[in-house]
Amino acid sequence: MPPYTDRLLSLPEYPLAKIPEQKRELIARGVDVIDLGAGDADLSPPPAVIDRISAAVRIPTMSRYGFALGLMEYREAVVRFMKRRFGQDFHPIKEIVPLIGSKEGISHLAFAYLNKGDYSIVPEPGYNAYLGGTLLAEGIPYKYPLRPDNGFLVDLDEIPSDVLQKTKVLYLNYPNNPTSAVAPKDYLEDVVRRCKELDILLVYDNAYSELAYDGYVPPSIFEIPGARDVAIEFHSMSKTYNMTGGAAAGRAERRNSLALWRR
């Protein structure tokens, strides 16, 4: 067997892969375990979804390749969600991408925006796909420690300027997993302005946009003026609807990706 690539070997161990094994061992030893591992919903998807999917498996076209388009009705549903929830308009074909889960998009995005040696800013602790995507794309993750003293926010002014100059991607996730911090509007305005100045793509992971308490309503990054110039936003079904699936929204790409493909 040939050896693994350096890319694969650059990945750190995935803690969530080890936790089930450790859990089994502890339970076998009689320990009363509270599982704070993978945030996988333990509730069922909405009954209407189960009914619809059960019926859909009998529709012949449902087992065909979706190609990049996927199901048009899904794109349109995402457009309606972005409008209803955040007041933002998107074009279903040019500005929405259906995903099997937001992780799919978040981890693959690095291949589109990081050349070998480019930096991404990866908040720590944070969702592993930011790190994994960057490493597999041969980018360099700049791990930014989230701290309680600054509200678990990423302060770009604390990052060395030689790193910022080579940074192509900033991953942000608010409401944040695992700290549960939220980002004030003036902070997001500042980040959008800085990303524009520095020509950094802001990857706004909004997986928890629908899980908020005490009257707080998480925004979309696109509610911030200028965000369309610098940001892509990811949404997840697994957190909101207890089922896999997701989507990304962002400004239509000026370059035609099919033209790039044919080059």
Ligand X SMILES: Cc1ncc(COP(=O)(O)O)c(C=O)c1O
Please tell me what DSSP assigns to residue 95. S
Q: Which of 238, 247, 249, 250 binds ligand X (CB under 6 A)?
A: 238
Identity of the residue, 156 or 237, whose beta carbon is nearer to ligand X in the bound complex: 237
> Exactly one of 236, 247, 248, 250 binds ligand X (CB under 6 A); which one?
236
Does residue 37 touch ligand X according to CB under 6 A? no
Does 220 bind ligand X (CB under 6 A)? Our answer is no
Helix locations, 87-216, DSSP H: 102-113, 128-136, 161-165, 185-198
Question: Does the protein bind ligand X through residue 151 (CB under 6 A)?
Answer: no
| Cα torsion angle, 14, 6, 139, 96, sign | negative
Listed in sequence order, the residues at least 6 apart from 141 whose beta carbon sits closer than 8 Å to its beta carbon are: 119, 120, 121, 122, 130, 131, 134, 135
Query: Contact region for ligand X (CB under 6 A) — 6-14, 101-109, 152-160, 253-261?
Result: 101-109
Closer to ligand X at the Cβ: 103 or 168? 103
127 binds ligand X (CB under 6 A): yes
CB-CB neighbours of 149 under 10 Å: 5
Residue ranges with strand state E in 73-227: 96-99, 119-124, 140-145, 167-172, 201-205
Q: If 0-12 CB within 10 Å is exposed, 13-18 middle and 19+ buried, where does residue 89 land? A: exposed
What is the separation of C-alpha 95 from the centre of its chain, rounded to a whole number of angstroms? 16
Q: Report the residue from 177, 181, 194, 210 that binds ligand X according to the rule CB under 6 A.
A: 177
Cα three-residue angle 194-86-71, rounded to 5 degrees? 105
CB of 28 to ligand X, least distance (A): 27
- List 79, 88, 95, 102, residue binding ligand X (CB under 6 A): 102
> Counting contacts by CB under 6 A, is residue 103 touching ligand X?
yes
Structure tokens at 175: 């409401």
Q: Of 42-50, 100-108, 162-170, 253-261, which part binds ligand X (CB under 6 A)?
A: 100-108
Binding ligand X (rule: CB under 6 A), the pick from 246, 248, 249, 250 is 246
By beta-carbon proximity to ligand X, the closer residue of 102 and 167 is 102
Q: Which is nearer to ligand X, 164 or 232 (CB)?
A: 232
Q: Which is nearer to ligand X, 164 or 201 (CB)?
A: 201
